[in-house]
Amino acid sequence: MTRIICLGMVVKDIVFYVQQIPSTPQKLTAHSYEEKFGGMAATAAAAIAALGGSVEFWGSVGDDEIGRNAIEAFGLCGVLTKIKQIQNAHSAISAVIVDGDGERMLAVYPGKLEPTADWLDLESLKGVNAVHADFRWVAGAKTLYLAAKKLNIPRVLDADAGDISALKELIPLANHVIFSQPGLALFTGGLELGEGLHFASQFTEGIIGVTLGEKGSLFLDNEKIYEFSAPQILPVDTNGAGDVFHGAYSLAIGRGLTWMDAAKYASSAAALKCSKVGGWQHLPTHSEVINLLGNSSCLN
């Protein structure tokens, strides 16, 4: 079975569903809400498990109720864990607002967790097919990427908007760098998409991509831009779709697919995520992705 390691932050999401996200500050009444777990690398790990991969999440939580529940949530969806519980620390938590079109806005409190990575079990990388990390835990991601590079293991980075200094440290260490559109704009100072990909390619010898939601994705390889359309679905909840894209892409790369086939696979997985409401227990399966892709024997 394909083995993947995902490293980063796990977050408790409190999600409020509203008719419309307002453009000005005001009180809102939600018609429903739910509590679930998220985080970029954490949701990618849950997606990999749902898609049939063997996956392990590396990260830290506080020794609080949120942290204990996060570890339990990973277990329920089939994700193995190497998680350090930090004494007297608060686990990460976020508030998410989702509107009637499935679009969302959120605020994240990352918690107060130790940044050190000296406890990571790098010996267990032997036999791993790919690694994936977000930029929330820079020391951990650097340690993971450097060890994986020595073993010639593919290294996927979720380059979302946030800490640009973290992106500058991690992008040169990964060989599959996939930005969100805001992340690429932040890193490149607002360059047009194609120009932005060319600019970002100076910092890595690998594949550069950017996800564009319902507009699909763009990738750059050997100075050539490739465009991938997103399957047309009725969006219900887009929260976590980018994380699912990264997880599915990492799994496909780990399975030995080309980056092009990995991008197609990931696009379908992300689209299916947008068509469902719910947390890690409602992520797309491999058979659902293949059915959406249609006749694509190389992905079976």
CATH number at residue 217: 3.40.1190.20
Contact 61, 85 (CB under 8 A): yes
> Which pLDDT does position 106 carry in this prediction?
86
The residue range of the domain holding 88 is 3-20+30-113+127-299
Q: What pTM value is reported for the model?
A: 0.92
Contact 9, 136 (CB under 8 A): yes
Provide the domain count of the chain.
1
Ranges of residues in the chain with a pLDDT under 70 are 295-300
In a domain, residue 283? The reply is yes
Q: How far is CA 294 from CA 47, 144, 290, in A?
A: 20, 35, 6
In a domain, residue 158? The reply is yes
CA 56 to chain centre: 14
> Which pLDDT does position 294 carry in this prediction?
85
